[in-house]
Structure 1
Amino acid sequence: MSFSDLSSAFPNPAQGYTDLGLELSRLIGTPSAKSVAKNLEILTVGQMLHQFPRRYLARGDLTDLDLLQIGEEVTILARVVALTTRYMQTRKGTISDVVITDNSGRPASLVISFFNGFKAKKELQPGVLAMFSGKVGFYGGKQVLTNPGYVLLPDDELAEHEAELHSAKPVPVYPATAKFPSWKTEDIIKAILPALDLEKVPDPVPKHIAAREQLLPLAEAYEQIHRPADMDMWPLARHRFRFQEALALQTALAQRRLEAMRQDATGRAAVQGGLLDAFDAQLPYTLTGGQVEIGSLISQEIAAGHPMHRLLQGEVGSGKTLIALRAMLQVVDAGGQAAFLAPTEVLAAQHMNSITALLGPFGAGTLLGGPNATQVTLLTGSMPAAAKKKALLAAATGEAGIVIGTHALLSDTVQFADLGLIVVDEQHRFGVEQRDALRAKALKPPHLLVMTATPIPRTVAMTVFGDLEVSELTELPAGRTPILTHVAPLAEHPGWEARVWQRAREEIDAGRQVYVVCPKIGDEDSAGTLLESLENNASDTRPMAGVLGVLQYLRTVPALAGQRIEMLHGRLDSGEKQDTMAAFTAGEINVLVATTVIEVGVDVRNATLMVILDADRFGMSQLHQLRGRVGRGEHAGTALLVTGLEHDHPSRKRLEAVAATIDGFVLAQQDLQMRREGDILGARQSGGVSGLRILSVVRDEDLIGRAREDATAIVTADPELEFHPALKLEIEMYLTQKSEAFLERG
């Protein structure tokens, strides 16, 4: 349900407390409601009531400044120690720098700067207690807040006396934006709470579960989460709403699992002596234990009369594609077709090449030409009209048993004779509408296998992909050597830049190839020394290494003289990209300068070195994905994480963590802990909003597990929630757009 639909979420008063469905303007006026809608995407009273504080401050407890994270929107309570004002050198005006303390005794680790801050200069005098709200940046080796919002807090003797009389009630800190700080939300909550009869809000948690979990009564929990009596009460209120949210999410997922089980699918049982058996017999290597176990499980599920819904995750090179291919061959043996959906044309072409290479002579026939051959067809948007027409015909007639493609597979012009299995590679790159568009092309609901090489911690998979069964491949095939990863910190060692390119030349001289990865495409005139492009680390506005500029620069580096250096990025047309990848695969290009277009699926076995520029611009899981592109053949792989950040910058911790382990699941868990679940769940690459209201997949693993068991039992006994109307209402009302998006990703 979208935000715009929520105002009509209560058509029947008997269903719930209808005041929660009122437009917020009814209680706070139109101007204030418009501001809330613009900044917080909140339209109704119920949504506002569920805008819970992130944390709480006791009046005597100043914020621990060492816990702040770069790039985080924060609200901090601090006391001003000093204020200095100076004239700017490059333009008119002044800068007022406010030094604050958290009473820890440590030197100030945060600088607050106001440009032409005449009001701040007047009000933020030494000794003042204030709450500041803004985004943490990094400049000159220190964390900074620039032009933050702030509010002065009463700190005189009378205020202290009143605080004592009121048991020093905690100060709630709400989620904030640049134009809507925490205290504005607090003022609105103070306005709407007295107008609501919270005793009328139906409790979505069944009584026996609430008793087992020792949950606060719902009305009391609303009061204590927004206006806690003391520092002991808000944790009890948060526990109540964390469990309530987990139960709603898991119940929604349980309903989807049950719905899938009820669907009628065509079973595709394995055929003895068919194409799959012939393929297995000619494999030049033995399957790993994990491949055998998961392959057997998938085989059984494909043979069943209801559609398989399985997520297969595993390390780069762990053999996911082989498992998918064997599943597709089982479907082909049974007279069906398989569609393999890839997110990019480069990746689709790579899968086409690898699958046809694996199949050998078994990929050269047609379904009509015998049991031990099938046709593999590629379909992408940029194909010539004649080739596309031929591919469309092969899919529609059933001549092609396996159709590999990009979003072009979703087109209305694409039809299948009998689509039995959909394989989705890198599921997080596709929306539910795209996946369902492909499923609609089947006569009956097809089996679904989604794959990801980005390791997902089990708690995340349980929450986000909760309507999929999850399998993990943890073994690497025999012969694969671990990838060595090193951080190249140019801020401390500027001379290492020359060594980076000398190291690249050593790989080339040994007959091997090199990737150079940049975080952006860039401009033609952005060439310069690598150090120049990396060393300005003042803030997120620092320049980034771009493919176009780095390409020009590398062609001037003495160590790479005479080598063929080319580029690959998303702005090239499809033909150029395919030609470049083909030349690199054939060993005709020594150094490929690329964006993350090579992040997944690209398989050049002779590439052994990857230089990642501005490595701090990438997430830990993404760095792990990127380095998985090297060392895929008989020679060991090496990844160099080049950064211009100073040694004390917090993002350096992420680079060191990547260099310290090759276990993607360990990295994913660390990434989750360092950057919050926003990044892992796919909300934003930079971390942040996860789409969960108050639940944390890091902290609440056990709670989510209990809620999942409860939800499964509830839905098994009451699939439509006829006897759990309050829980049904909770799901309908408060699954936000982001939460719904996560649920739909399965």
Structure 2
Amino acid sequence: MPEATPTPASPAKAAKPAAAAPSGPRRAMERLGLIRPIDLALHLPLRYEDETRLVRLRDARPGDTVQFEATVSDSRVEVRRRRQLLVSLRDDDGQTVLLRFLHFYPSHQKTLSEGRRVRVRGELKGGLFGREMVHPTFKAVEPDTPLAAALTPVYPAGAGLPQAYLRKAIEAALPRAPLHELLPHGCVPAGLPPLREALTLLHHPPPSVPQQQLQEHTHPAWQRLKFEELLAQQLSQLQSKALRAQHRAPELRGRGLVERLLAALPFALTGAQQRVAEEIATDLGQAQPMHRLLQGDVGSGKTVVAALAAAVCIDAGWQCALMAPTELLAEQHLRKLVGWLEPLGVRVAWITGSVKGKKREGLLADAASGEAQLVVGTHAVIEDKVQFDRLGLAIVDEQHRFGVAQRLALRRKLAERGLEPHLLMMSATPIPRTLAMSYYADLDVSTLDELPPGRSPIVTKVFGMGKRDEVIERIAHEIDAGKQVYWVCPLIEESEESDLQAATVTHAELADLLGPERVGLLHGRLKADEKAAVMARFSANELPLLVATTVIEVGVDVPNATLMVIEHAERFGLAQLHQLRGRVGRGAQASVCVLLYSGPLSESGRERLKAMAETTDGFEIARRDLAIRGPGEFMGHRQSGADLLRFADLQDDAPLLVAARAQAPALLREHPQAAQAHVQRWLGGKAELLKA
């Protein structure tokens, strides 16, 4: 059924776009990536309209979307505030309705001329002057004009792409699309239809198909598409893993440095740390490059595991690079690693964007010559100017903040020797099981699921901004008792200057209330030595209160800090709130995190604050975060978002993911050509994103 298309009011001007219509929609389809028949076949409807039956106007109620037939009793153009086409209809029962068009073509007036019988579909509205419809769809009919045999699809479409044009293009493409079965018998879960049959049904579902199953994507036809997509992803991950197994890496085996480091540490490793350190050491001793994700909750002790991995590498005569997303975090790692490794004779270099001049040149020379055995820094470490003599291990902290290209650059540092370094990625944001099974299926995952002894529990309290003065009173009490406090300033917008302004204003206010000598300020615009000076004073308990932006999100470790206040907590993401909260509770004293929010809260904002109040378990936080945000935002830049999955939903489709994960190894082993064709059909060039 043709739709009333918005046009300029002038009939003379309306005729020109119609003549140029074919090229316009074609360009619009190209912008949507709808070029090949398979692209069109996989462009699925957003929803459906039921044009398979007629209703009688006397049975319809305002608010209903209905389709009926009636005769035009009057058609006229009126000029009120603007030109309108008003069409009065009367059905066979004598019921009347007014059609209103604010934009119309001359063809509208011709089709809707007095005496014509038309079939109309749209939302029925009530009003003081009777029932009406605004911009319904319509077409002229004869008494015996058949109804649609299937539900009418409504597709995602951009500007300049009419639904009627898109429907015809998809209908023509479906028979030509290569939708033959690629998968061997027994691979597809029982009860799911063949691929072509599934797509045909989704584009043209008969009226007997429950619309709820179509809308909620639970119909077996939808399940078939989701399984195919998840299987392609699993196959691609396994192919990437197999490809990396063909690459060569240096075999790194320690000769005693690890034992010396363990003996020098002022604490004993947890059982989880021992287990994970052994897993990493085993990988480093292989000739294939390690590609391992080390995940653990805030405070689980990932840095010492990284130090042990670095010790294995250095002891074998190779260099190690550790890269962190922020200078503050990199500096925290540097301080710990220097304290642990330099007394054992390890030379550590510090390379960030803020290190300039001759000092930088000297550090670069040390890295290039191999004299610097461990290089710590920010993304500056992967710049072309930073060369290594024998890079054997690259450690990336908070790996979700680094893009594919950055990790590839690290791995290329050893390419000229025909080798690539081992890669250890660390994350304090635990990966939910469904993500680990899908987007991280190509990685070996080690999990620190045990916190070191002596950590205090953190109580989280949520207050409206009306309690702000009471919170400041509590801060004064904590400071007087010798405790230390963080005050995290709100995210204003995607602007460092705005965040800095908020921190500066808050610092001035709290300094005025509590005394300037008791309040420090830390933000991203400070120079490296200024940041270090502020953190040194806070760590030494010379500053009881630290006002900061989110630069303290990760890495800061001050056991005497027992209270954190996060202002406008509703503006922060759930993972970020959990990371910030992890800055307290690092000692034996009871700790509190106060979340101050300003209403009204959005639904997702309310869910985030509720999750923070209910649990301190990073894995549960991650699960809820995935449910709130979806995999695209959760994963950050690992593979340019989660657009690799168009149809499957990791929350709802876990059983299909399990089935795909079970089938993929055998399919790749026993039917490699079918596996490759399946990956190409579903992922095409996007499969390359999974190889980083």
Aligned-partner Cα distance in 1 for 2:539–2:492: 22
Tell me if structure 2 keeps the 8 A contact 1:380–1:406: yes
Does structure 1 residue 412 correspond to structure 2 residue 384? yes
2:245 matched residue in structure 1: 261
2:657 corresponding residue in structure 1: 704
Q: Does 1:716 align with 2:669?
A: yes
1:445 alignment counterpart: 420
Map Cα deviations across residues 362-407 of structure 1 (whole Å, 9 max, x no partner): 414xxxxxxx421111111110322212222222222222111111
Q: Who is 2:76 aligned against?
A: none
State which of 423, 441, 449 in structure 2 corresponds to 1:466.
441
Alignment partner, residue 226 of structure 1: 203
Structure 1 match to 2:349: 377
Report the AA paired with residue 363 of structure 1. E
Deviates more, 1:593-602 or 1:424-433: 593-602
Give 1:212 deviation, angstroms: 4.0
Task: Give how far 1:691 is off.
Answer: 4.3
1:463 deviation in Å?
Answer: 1.4
Does the alignment pair 1:51 with 2:43?
yes
Indicate yes or no: 2:505 matched with 1:512: no
1:30 has 2:23 as partner = yes
Equivalent residues of 1:265, 1:305 under 8 A apart: yes
The SS at the match of 1:710 is: helix
| Rg (Cα) greater in structure | 2
Q: What is the rounded CA distance, in whole Å, between the counterparts of 2:488 and 2:123 in structure 1? A: 44
Unaligned runs of 5+ in 1: 1-26, 61-76, 81-92, 94-116, 120-127, 132-149, 365-371, 527-544
Cα distance in 1, alignment partners of residues 154 and 403 from structure 2: 34
SS at match of 2:373: strand
Separation in 2, partners of 1:52, 1:172 = 8
User: Is the Cα contact below 8 Å between 2:458 and 2:616 reproduced in 1?
Assistant: yes
In structure 1, how many angstroms separate the alpha carbons of the residues matched to 2:412 and 2:494?
42
How many Å separate the matches in 2 of 1:302 and 1:242?
Answer: 37
Per-residue deviation at 1:204? 6.1
> Where do 4+ consecutive residues of structure 1 move more than 6 Å?
57-60, 521-524
8 Å CA contact 1:204, 1:726 repeated in 2: no
Specify the alignment match of 2:464 in structure 1.
Answer: 489
Does the CA contact (< 8 Å) of 2:403 and 2:637 recur in 1? no
CA distance in 1: counterparts of 2:162 and 2:440, whole angstroms: 32
- Which residue of the other structure, out of 617, 620, 626, is the alignment partner of 2:571? 617
1:432 aligns with 2:409: no
Tell me, what secondary structure is at the counterpart of 1:399?
Answer: coil
Aligned partners of 1:621 and 1:523: how far apart in 2?
17
Q: Is the 8 A contact 2:413 2:420 kept in 1?
A: no
- One-letter code of the match for 1:617? R
Distance 1:44 1:722, change over 3 A: closer
Query: How far is 1:44 from its partner?
Result: 4.9
**Counterpart for residue 604 of structure 1:** 558
Q: Which residue of 1 aligns with 2:178?
A: 201
Distance in structure 2 (CA, Å) of the matches to 1:299 and 1:555: 50
Q: For the Cα contact (< 8 Å) 2:235–2:675, is it kept in 1?
A: no
Gaps of 5+ in 2: 1-19, 53-61, 66-80, 82-100, 104-120, 125-132
> Structure 1, residues 331-361: CA drift from partner, whole Å, max 9, x if none?
111111111011111111111012222x1xx
Equivalent residue, structure 1, for 2:127: none
Q: Which residue of 2 aligns with 1:23?
A: none
Q: Which residue matches 1:534?
A: none
1:601 Cα deviation from its structure 2 partner? 1.6
Query: Does structure 1 residue 672 correspond to structure 2 residue 626?
Result: yes
Post-superposition offset of 1:665:
0.8
> Does the CA-based 8 Å contact 1:487-1:641 persist in structure 2?
yes
Q: Which digits, 9 at most, give the CA deviation of each residue in 1:52-105, with x for residues without a partner?
A: 335667799xxxxxxxxxxxxxxxx9659xxxxxxxxxxxx9xxxxxxxxxxxx
Q: Closer, same or farther in 2 for the Cα pair 1:605/1:209, shift >3 Å?
A: same
Length-normalised TM-score, structure 1: 0.72
Residues 1:629 and 2:608 aligned together: no
Q: Tell me which of 593, 597, 604 is aligned to 2:547.
A: 593
| Distance of aligned partners of 1:507 and 1:52 in 2 relative to their CA distance in 1, 3 Å threshold | farther
Q: Which residue of 2 aligns with 1:538?
A: none
Alignment partner of 1:284 out of 263, 266, 271: 266
Aligned length: 596
The secondary structure found in structure 1 opposite 2:185 is helix
Identify the residue that residue 567 of structure 1 maps to in structure 2: 521
Partner of 2:226: 242
Picking from 670, 677, 680, the partner of 1:726 is 677
Aligned to 1:335: 317
Provide the C-alpha distance between the structure 2 equivalents of 1:675 and 1:613, rounded to a whole number of angstroms: 22
Judged with a 3 Å threshold, the aligned counterparts in structure 2 of structure 1 residues 688 and 197 are, in CA distance, closer, same or farther, namely closer
The Cα RMSD (Å) is 3.8
**Could you tell me which amino acid in structure 1 is paired with residue 475 of structure 2?**
A
Change (3 A) 1:676 1:481: same
CA distance in 1 between counterparts of 2:486 and 2:50 reads 52
Query: In structure 2, what is the Cα distance between the partners aligned to 1:575 and 1:601?
Result: 17
Contact 2:553 2:579 in 1 (8 A): yes
Distance 1:162 1:675, change over 3 A: farther
**Residue identity opposite 1:592 in structure 2:** L
Q: Contact 2:254/2:311 (CA < 8 Å) preserved in 1?
A: no
TM-score between both structures, scaled by the size of structure 2? 0.77
- Do the aligned partners of residues 650 and 391 (structure 1) sit closer, same or farther apart at CA in structure 2, a change above 3 Å counting? closer
Deviation at 1:330, TM superposition (A): 0.9
SS at match of 2:673: coil
Instruction: Give, in whole Å, the separation in 2 of the partners of 1:616 and 1:704.
Output: 33
Q: CA separation in 2, counterparts of 1:279 and 1:692?
A: 44
Displacement of 1:276: 0.8
CA deviation string 1:694-734 (max 9, x = no partner): 0111122221222123222233345xx4355531431553x
Indicate the SS of the match to 1:196: helix
1:204 and 1:730 in contact (8 A); partners too: no
CA distance in 2 between counterparts of 1:677 and 1:59 reads 36
Identical aligned residues as a percent? 38
Deviations along 1:276-298, whole A, 9 cap, x unmatched? 10111222322111111111111
Give yes or no for contact 2:321–2:393 (8 Å, CA) kept in 1. yes
Match of 1:106 in 2: none
- Residue by residue, what CA displacement relative to the aligned partner does 1:110-129 show, whole Å, maximum 9, x if unpaired? xxxxxxx988xxxxxxxx95
Kept in 2, the 8 Å contact 1:551–1:565? The answer is no
